[in-house]
Structure 1
Amino acid sequence: MTHSLVREKILSEYTVPDNEENFEFNILKYNGLRNSKMEPQGEGKAKLENGYRYEGGFRKGLPHGKGRLALQEGLRYDGHWRKGLKHGMGRIYYPDCSWYQGEFRKDLRNGCGTYYYPNGARYEGNWFRNRRHGMGCYKFSVGNINVNGTWVDGVARGPVEVIMDGCRFHGYWDGCCPRGPGYFTFNAKVMVKGKFYVDEIEGCEEKKLIWQPEAFETYEYTKLPLEPIPFPIEGSDISETSDEEDCKSHGSSVTLSD
């Protein structure tokens, strides 16, 4: 039978253009405190040569501490900085109406955070170098379906637990949908053993996800497939630019005036 477990695609994150992701912090106008070398240091406001605006903390002429950067086309960041890079807790808004709140390291989404997609879906979990990586939960925008699993380089792969209204699916996920053997469980009393496969019809681009039930059984936890488990991430240790101050979340926000 055709199964409606996946009613929508798992979305990818907004990709920031290179000219907005990597740019030189060249100040055109500045109003604020300075150090003995006349470099911006402490609280201040700056307008950059490319039209971007920054308000917040400075150190040796670069964003440092709490601050807000407003770029063009609706892209803006409000959070912690270190040596001119987004580093620590912060929130970033993208032009496609998606946004992310969580940890950053060296300008990248890295650590724990939540990404809110334009269609109302969201991902909560681990990030590594701007990608979903490690343990995480993707919550679809419709159907109240949550996919708890392991993510590798932005894609869900391996053991998953899918939580839905009235039941749960324990099995395996392969990129965009469940694949292979698994169990549907109902209130930890009854479970249905079966398998998912994709039906590819020759000469037709449409592919259907098929659930083939095999047996009805009394619920038995030991028969369920492996649960998602965290795994070590190479190079994911706290970087040399980290310190305790960067990892603290502050409730105050910085307002950038015109």
Structure 2
Amino acid sequence: MPVTKCPRKSEPLWKGWDWKAQKNGLRHQVYAVNGDHYVGEWKDNLKHGKGTQVWKKSGAIYEGDWKFGKRDGYGTLSRPDPETGKYRRVYSGWWKGDKKSGYGIQFFGSKDYYEGEWCGNQRSGWGRMYYPDGNIYEGQWQNDKPEGEGMLRLKNGNRYEGSWERGMKNGHGRFFHLDRGQLFEGFWVDDVAKCGTMIDFGRDEAPKPTQFPIPKVEVQDPDGVLREAIAALMSPEEEDT
């Protein structure tokens, strides 16, 4: 009795070609249609591991960690300087889901930069900002602006310590006028001091002290009437039972 064999099924050619085209492990330069190119590790056709990405349009370069096609982990982003053409570092730090998240340093210019915590590409948490005019802010951030408790130190040495909201002085705070030897302590609303007290503070060491010191305010009470009234309010007599 003749023996019949089922014909062996052959896979279509495109499946073999697709398998060979799968990117896994370390690959040399791989170009995208728009001219961007990447050198590094892959997993299931996604950038995964260590790698370097170059964007043709902007010229930006990212070197660092990747996770399933997105920047994730530690990495450095650099861009070419428009004047010199040389690459300068823009950001060095931690990423998550293709966004700056965690601790990192952002360079905005040659003199202004931020070092601290990030969340979703925004300064959030604790951080220190160096401004191009020489001022320095150190404290809490939220939504890319100073929010919470922080200190702003001006170039001339004067400083503000207190509460911030939406990037402005809001709430209780103290402003040290070290150049003239005075201290203001009070309440602020949108960078404007609304009420408070001003006293002399280190006036003898100040480089530009005021012409006259702030006089002390004293209440005249020769007969002791005011003191007796205050004492009565502080310790009222007990009612007879």
With normalisation by structure 2, the TM-score equals 0.62
Give the stretch that moved more between structures: 69-78 or 52-61: 69-78
Shift of 1:138: 0.4
Question: Which residue is 1:156 aligned to?
Answer: 169
What is the one-letter code of the residue matched to 1:146?
R
Question: Which residue is 2:120 aligned to?
Answer: 106
What is the one-letter code of the residue matched to 2:142?
F
Count of residue correspondences:
166
SS in 1 for 2:146: strand
Instruction: Output the CA distance in 1 between the equivalents of 2:172 and 2:214.
Output: 20
Shift of 1:71: 3.2
- Name the Cα RMSD after superposition: 2.5
Report which of the two structures shows the higher radius of gyration computed on alpha carbons. 2
Equivalent of 1:121 in 115, 124, 135: 135
Shift of 1:46: 1.0
Q: Equivalences for 1:46-57 in 2 at 5 Å?
A: 46-50=53-57, 51-57=59-65
CA displacement, residues 65-95 of structure 1 (integer Å, 9 cap, x when unaligned):
0001113556711000011010000000013
Q: Is the 8 A contact 1:172 1:182 kept in 2?
A: no
Question: Which residue is 2:47 aligned to?
Answer: 40
CA displacement, residues 144-200 of structure 1 (integer Å, 9 cap, x when unaligned):
11100111101112221123435532123344453433131536xxxxxxxxxxxxx
Q: Is the 8 A contact 1:27 1:46 kept in 2?
A: no
Greater RCO structure (CA 8 Å; 6+ sep): 1
Question: Which residue is 1:145 aligned to?
Answer: 158
SS in 2 for 1:71: strand
Say whether 1:132 aligns with 2:139: no
- Extract unaligned runs of 5+ from structure 2: 1-33, 82-87, 203-212, 219-241
- Extract unaligned runs of 5+ from structure 1: 1-25, 188-212, 219-258
What is the one-letter code of the residue matched to 1:47?
V
Shift of 1:40: 1.4
Instruction: Output the CA distance in 2 between the equivalents of 1:182 and 1:215.
Output: 13
Give the stretch that moved more between structures: 70-79 or 100-109: 70-79
Question: Which residue is 1:178 aligned to?
Answer: 193
With normalisation by structure 1, the TM-score equals 0.58
